[in-house]
Amino acid sequence: MKKLLGGIEAGGTKFVCAVGTGPEDIRAEVRFPTTTPAKTIGRAVAFFQEQEPVTAVGIAAFGPLDPNPRSPTYGCITTTPKPGWANTNFAGAIQAALNVPVGFDTDVNGAALGEWQWGAAQGLDTFIYLTIGTGIGGGAMVNGNLLHGLIHPEMGHIPLPHDWEADPYNGRCPYHGDCLEGMASGPAIEDRWQKKGQELPPDHPAWELEAHYLALALRSFICTLSPQRIIMGGGVMAQPQLFPLVRQKTLDYLNGYVQSPAILADIDRYIVPPGLGNRAGVLGAIALGRQAL
Smallest CA-to-CA distance from 19 within 293, 282, 292, 291 is with: 282
Residue 238 contact among Zn ion, ligand ADP, none, beta carbon within 5 to 8 Å by kind: ligand ADP
Q: Please give the torsion angle defined by the CA atoms of residues 38, 39, 44 and 47, in that order, rounded to the nearest 10 degrees.
A: 130
Partner whose footprint covers residue 37, from ligand ADP, Zn ion, none (CB < 5 to 8 Å by kind)? none
Task: Report 267-286 residues binding Zn ion (CB under 5 A).
Answer: none
Q: Which of 132, 173, 222, 271 binds Zn ion (CB under 5 A)?
A: 173
Under rule CB under 5 A, residue 179 binds Zn ion: yes
Torsion 50-64-142-260 (CA) sign: positive
Whole-number CA gyration radius for the chain? 19
The closest residue (CB) to ligand ADP is 186
Q: x/- binding map, residues 143-172, to Zn ion, per CB under 5 A? A: --------------x---------------
- Contact set with ligand ADP (CB under 6 A): 11-13, 133-134, 186-187, 190, 196-198, 234-236, 238-239
Sequence-separated (6 or more) residues with CB below 8 Å from residue 38: none
The count of residues interacting with Zn ion (CB under 5 A) is: 5
Residue 154 beta carbon to ligand ADP: minimum distance, rounded to whole angstroms? 15
User: Which one of 43, 82, 148, 176 is in contact with Zn ion (CB under 5 A)?
Assistant: 176
CB of 205 to ligand ADP, least distance (A): 14
Q: Binding of Zn ion at residue 134 (CB under 5 A)?
A: no
CB of 197 to ligand ADP, least distance (A): 3
- Binder of residue 198, out of Zn ion, ligand ADP, none (CB less than 5 to 8 A by kind): ligand ADP
Which partner from the list ligand ADP, Zn ion, none does 197 bind, CB cut-off 5 to 8 Å by kind?
Answer: ligand ADP
Q: Around 138, how many Cα atoms within 13 Å sit in the side-chain half-sphere?
A: 26
Nearer CB in complex with ligand ADP: 12/159: 12
Bridge partner list, 230: 128, 271
Residues forming contacts to Zn ion in the complex (CB under 5 A) are 157, 173, 175-176, 179
